[in-house]
Each structure stands twice: as structure tokens, then as C-alpha cells.
């Protein structure tokens, strides 16, 4: 996988996807979004990859938003197309059967905050600044921020952030549930990799079904969601990892999962 604005490193069962447009604070333009879409489809299909980590190059920015210079002259129809591309990328990340960890360094604004929201887990550096500053530009969040931010941190807090365009620092992000973990910048990637390694050591089907159950179940009422969970729970018993995991417990030894 070779891209213009992305770097992809594959090691120990994980793919590290780095958005690499440091001169524009890793802002998301059409090429970058198209490449992200392609990279996540490829990572989803690659059996050598079990967890994906996404980060931004440099210390200053994860992603400072959708590319304002590219967006400024768009017509309404072009803007709609651009928003659809962004939505498609976020959906691809959410729908990716493998866990996706955002390692968020520096500014995660607008489309950058929305990209982090599309990921399953957010580990952030102490210098992080989250925000949805679109109202400063005369627009609203266009890559799902009005929906995912409210779902993650609640309607009232999401409205405050989106109406004021205010930025949130690391401790506040952690307090309101936007960040799972806060670490010094120089430990960011290692912390994300350590979490990825822990996830990789589990039965990969169990992790995959858990992601499906949580992600899709949240869109359903509780009875249907529980039914959906029951189906996926049952499906776990079609895997060798379930037999091995339970046998290992009974034999008082560490399970050897094979992802089968
Ligand atoms: N787009 C393009 N370039 C950007 C950028 C961005 N979002 N953010 C920063 N840059 C560029 C700057 O223009 C500057 O470029 P040069 O002048 O050096 O060529 C370079 O990165 C360094 O930025 P600064 O000089 O401004 O650096 P500072 O440290 O002083 O400030 C900052 C850092 C992140 C606070 C500041 O750059 C900033 O406020 N950036 C904009 C943040 C922002 O407003 N982000 C939200 C973008 S809007 C929709 C689809 C999508 C969206 C909405 C609607 N539809 C189609 C309906 C999504 C919108 C957004 O994400």
C-alpha cells in the first residue's frame, strides 16, 4: 500500500496509518480521504492485520480539519459530494471488522475530531485539542460530528462544543469521555501499540463480534440489541477459539488463540 498523503507501517499484526500532510496540519482533502478509504478497505481484507492505529504525522496536529482551502470555493453540489466522501470514510472505519485505535496528537479539529470519533478507541497525547470549530467558518460539522459527538459525550455537551467552537484539552476530553486515556506525547504510539497487542492476544473473532454487537446494537432498541448480541454470542461457539479459550481455563493454562 503506497499513498501520497498516508504512511502505512505493518508490524506485529497491527497497521499504523499515519496521515502525512504536516504543512497543512494533516488537513483532510479529497485525495487524503480517498486514500483513507482505500487503506481501510485493504486493512480490513488483509489477514496479517488485526488492529489498526491511526495517527497524524508530527507533534502539532492529528488532523486540523477538513481542508479549508480546498473547501472554500466549492459549489453546494460539490460540497455535498465532499461531505459524502467524508461520511463514507467514517462509516468504513466504524464498519471495519477490526478494532481501530486513534492515537491523537495535537489538534483534532473539525473533520479531525470527526475522524477520531469514527474510531473505536481514542488514546490522546497531553497536548491534544479537540474541537468542532465549523461555526467559525459559517458551516456545521460535515463528517458526522453532530451525530457521533452527541452519541459519545451527550447532547448538552456536544451542543456546547458545536455552538461555541470551543476547544477541549486532554484532561477535559478525558473527563467527558472523549478520550479513553491521556499520555505524554512521546508515549502516545507505544501506548496505542501496547493496547493493540493486548487486543491481538485475544480471540480475534470474539473481538470482531464484540465490535459488531456494540456498534450495531447501539442503533437498536434494547430488546432487539440483546437479541442481536445473543446471535453473535452463539456464533462464537462456531469458532475454535471458543473451544480453546474455555478448555484452557478448565486446564488452568493460557489460551492459545489462532483466530479460527
Ligand atoms: N485546512 C487547510 N489548511 C490548514 C488547516 C485546515 N483545516 N488548518 C491549518 N492549516 C494550514 C494553515 O493554513 C497553515 O498553512 P500555511 O499558511 O503555512 O500555508 C498551516 O496549516 C499552519 O497553520 P497555522 O499557521 O494556522 O498554525 P497555528 O499553530 O497558528 O494554528 C490551528 C493552528 C490548528 C489552531 C489553526 O491552523 C486553525 O485554526 N486551523 C483551522 C482549524 C479548523 O477550523 N478546523 C475545522 C476545519 S472545517 C462539510 C464537509 C466537511 C466539513 C464541514 C462541512 N460539508 C461539505 C457540508 C468539515 C469542516 C471542517 O473540518
Residue 167 pLDDT exceeds 90: yes
Q: What is the structure's pLDDT at 192? A: 98
The predicted model gives 164-180 an average pLDDT of: 98
Choosing from 35, 94, 114, 229, which is the catalytic residue? 114
Q: pLDDT per residue over 111-155, tens digit each?
A: 999 999 999 999 999 999 999 999 999 999 999 999 999 999 999
Q: pLDDT per residue over 15-58, tens digit each?
A: 999 999 999 999 999 999 999 999 999 999 999 999 999 999 99
Instruction: For domain 6-200, say whether CATH 3.30.420.40 is its number.
Output: no
Q: State the pLDDT confidence band at 93, using cuts at 50, 70 and 90.
A: very high
The predicted model gives 228-254 an average pLDDT of: 97
DSSP state of 22: G
Q: What angle do CA 252, 257, 181 make, to 5 degrees?
A: 95
Please state the domain extents for the chain.
Answer: 6-200, 204-250
Choosing from 134, 172, 229, 244, which is the catalytic residue? 134
CA 116 to chain centre: 5
Q: State the pLDDT confidence band at 250, using cuts at 50, 70 and 90.
A: very high
Going by alpha carbons, the residue nearest to atom 13 of ligand 1 is 24
Q: Topology of domain 204-250, per CATH?
A: Lyase 2-enoyl-coa Hydratase; Chain  A, domain 2 (1.10.12)
DSSP state of 238: T
Going by alpha carbons, the residue nearest to atom 52 of ligand 1 is 142
Q: Is 114 a catalytic residue?
A: yes
**CB 17 within 8 Å of CB 52:** yes
Q: Ligand 1 in contact with 25 (CB < 6 A)?
A: yes
Q: What is the structure's pLDDT at 38? A: 98
Q: What is the structure's pLDDT at 1? A: 79
Q: Ligand 1 in contact with 24 (CB < 6 A)?
A: yes
Q: Residue 182 pairs with which residues in a beta bridge?
A: 124
Amino acid at each position: 500500500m503506497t499513498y501520497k498523503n498516508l504512511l502505512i507501517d505493518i508490524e506485529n499484526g497491527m497497521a499504523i496509518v499515519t496521515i502525512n500532510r504536516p504543512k497543512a496540519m494533516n488537513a483532510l482533502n479529497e485525495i487524503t480521504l480517498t486514500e483513507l478509504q482505500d487503506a481501510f478497505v485493504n486493512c480490513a481484507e488483509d489477514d496479517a492485520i488485526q488492529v489498526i492505529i491511526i495517527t497524524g504525522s508530527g507533534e502539532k496536529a492529528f488532523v486540523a480539519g477538513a481542508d479549508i482551502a480546498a473547501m472554500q470555493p466549492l459549489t453546494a453540489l460539490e460540497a455535498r459530494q465532499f461531505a459524502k466522501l467524508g461520511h463514507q470514510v467514517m462509516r468504513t472505519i466504524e464498519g471495519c471488522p477490526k478494532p481501530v485505535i486513534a492515537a491523537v496528537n495535537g489538534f483534532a479539529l473539525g473533520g479531525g475530531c470527526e475522524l477520531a470519533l469514527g474510531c473505536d478507541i481514542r488514546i490522546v497525547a497531553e497536548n491534544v485539542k479537540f474541537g468542532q470549530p465549523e461555526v467559525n467558518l459559517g458551516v456545521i460539522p460535515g463528517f458526522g460530528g453532530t451525530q457521533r459527538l452527541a452519541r459519545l459525550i451527550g447532547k448538552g455537551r456536544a451542543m456546547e462544543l458545536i455552538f461555541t467552537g470551543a476547544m477541549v484539552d486532554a484532561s477535559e476530553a478525558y473527563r467527558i469521555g472523549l478520550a479513553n486515556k491521556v499520555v505524554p506525547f512521546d508515549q502516545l504510539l507505544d501506548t496505542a501499540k501496547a493496547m493493540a497487542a493486548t487486543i491481538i492476544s485475544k480471540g480475534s473473532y470474539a473481538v470482531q463480534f464484540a465490535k459488531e454487537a456494540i456498534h450495531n446494537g447501539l442503533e437498536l432498541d434494547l430488546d432487539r440489541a440483546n437479541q442481536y448480541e445473543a446471535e453473535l454470542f452463539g456464533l462464537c461457539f462456531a469458532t475454535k477459539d471458543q473451544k480453546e479459550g474455555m478448555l484452557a481455563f478448565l486446564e488452568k493454562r493460557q489460551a492459545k488463540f489462532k483466530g479460527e
